[in-house]
Amino acid sequence: MSEELNFLPSLTGSFAKPAAENPTVEMVEAAYRHHGLHWRYINTEVGPENLGAAVAGARAMNWAGFNCSLPNKIEVIQYIDGLGESAEVIGAVNCVVRREDELIGENTDGKGFLKSLREVVDPTGKRVMMFGAGGAARAIGVEVALAGATNITIVNRSPGRGEELVALLNDKTQAKAAFEKWDGDYSVADGVDVVINATSIGLYPDIDARLALNLDSLSADMVVADVIPNPPRTNLIKDAEVRGCKVLDGLGMLVNQGITGIKYWTGVTVDGGVMRTRLEELFDA
């Protein structure tokens, strides 16, 4: 057998539930192909009840790393060996990296969002309002605060998680954070610069869902961002565009997460345009 032939690709993948609507596999494999990397990405359906066994399997099969999506981002921490700096502050992991013999949890959610946001507005000195207080919201809140946002309002239906995130932001960052209970249609306050949906409202298959939001409270000087990649043009994005807002779809965040994750795994900085193009092909965006 010729020395060049190698039938053992390096393995990466994802543990999520549900997994079928997550397009990350197409995006990452497009980057691997484009850059001639002998790597594969395997999308699997794994919930918290099987997560320990899945992580043990990834160790046994020498995976180079994996993503954790809902509902595993906090649950996975007990099964890995350590946390990177931002993952430790955030308290959630979406990207696990094999470093020598250890599996280390990182968080690229907030980093991906921040890179995407900076393409349209610098968060320094800005007032941010965010729907949601789950894993994505925690990651985005921390990264936006560390990037210099001065005020962050967390709007959530359950006060427990919302107030916990506010306490985290006030304790670990320079931003001033406040909680508001989400009850009925929420009105965005005057002076807010960036509105973020960090909930799963509008995610496939429930694409007709709308945030309980008073659309008349959106103004043309606001940036409105949605973290949902599937579909990229959620009702929130469409509604905000009609009101003249600058909009940021979930594809930008997903692509930038992918760039960061692949760099962690392979050491290669991949071309984000290749990944975005593949996602746009899939979604006719």
Q: Which domains does the chain have, with CATH numbers?
A: 10-107+252-283 (3.40.50.10860), 110-248 (3.40.50.720)
Q: Which pLDDT value is given to residue 2?
A: 53
Contact 21, 204 (CB under 8 A): yes
In DSSP terms, 66 is beta-bridged to 13, 96
Tokens of 204: 């496939």
Catalytic site includes residue 238: no
Phi, psi of 40 (to 5 degrees): -130, 155
Helices (H), 101-210: 109-118, 135-146, 159-172
Q: How much is the pTM?
A: 0.90
Helices (DSSP H) in 99-249: which residue ranges? 109-118, 135-146, 159-172, 235-242
Sole residue written with tokens 């103004």: 219
Phi/psi for 15 (5° steps) reads -115, 110
Q: Chunked in runs of 10, what are the mean pLDDT values of the chain (285 residues)?
A: 82 96 95 98 98 98 95 95 92 95 96 95 98 92 96 97 97 96 97 97 93 97 95 96 97 96 98 97 83
| From 17, 73, 111, 126, active-site residue | 73
Please give the angle made by the CA atoms of 77, 254 and 57, to the nearest 5 degrees: 40
Read off the tokens for 21.
């609507």
